[in-house]
Amino acid sequence: MRYYLDFDRTCFDTDAFVVYMQEHAKNVFEPGELSRFLYSDAASFLREKENAVTIITAGDRAFQEMKVKSALHGIPRMSVMYTEGQRKGDFLAPHTHLHIDALLVDDTPAELEAVALRCPDLLLYEMRRNEEGGDGRWPIIHALAELP
């Protein structure tokens, strides 16, 4: 199984990170400085699955790269796709060979919808780190350990 995991709010506690940024106002992150913001189940899942996982993240590439590299420091064999503002479905659509026996986890219904439209072979899961209900169109998980 290939796992495509969104970064913010799926693997990374973005809300806690925002508070940290408000307190520290940094532009550069040391290796491992942001690893405290990886959800504990995400860190163990990434170590366990290694090459089977690809992080896929949107937003400003330079900023996302700094966050991802610092947060994932010490976790071997991680591949990352930076969509640079492009919808994940549009980004993944040309790579149909990557959809075989694969799933994608994201916390944003708009991203899941875009993937569903453009990459119908991918299994989709909606991440809800809190107890809130989800959109209802995809299975909801609260931790990565719930994945097949």
**Domain segments of the chain: what residues?**
2-146
**pLDDT score for 130:** 87
C-alpha 98/C-alpha 41 separation (Å) is 25
C-alpha 23/C-alpha 17 separation (Å) is 10
**pLDDT score for 52:** 96
Query: What tens digit of pLDDT does each residue of 80-102 get?
Result: 999 998 999 999 999 988 899 99
Give the residue ranges of the chain where pLDDT is below 70.
Answer: none
CB 42, CB 144: distance < 8 Å: yes
60's tokens: 């400003």
**pLDDT score for 133:** 85
Within the chain, strands assigned E span: 2-6, 53-57, 79-82, 102-106, 123-127, 140-141
Whole-structure pTM value: 0.95
**pLDDT score for 95:** 92
C-alpha 46/C-alpha 52 separation (Å) is 9
2-146 sits in which CATH class?
alpha beta
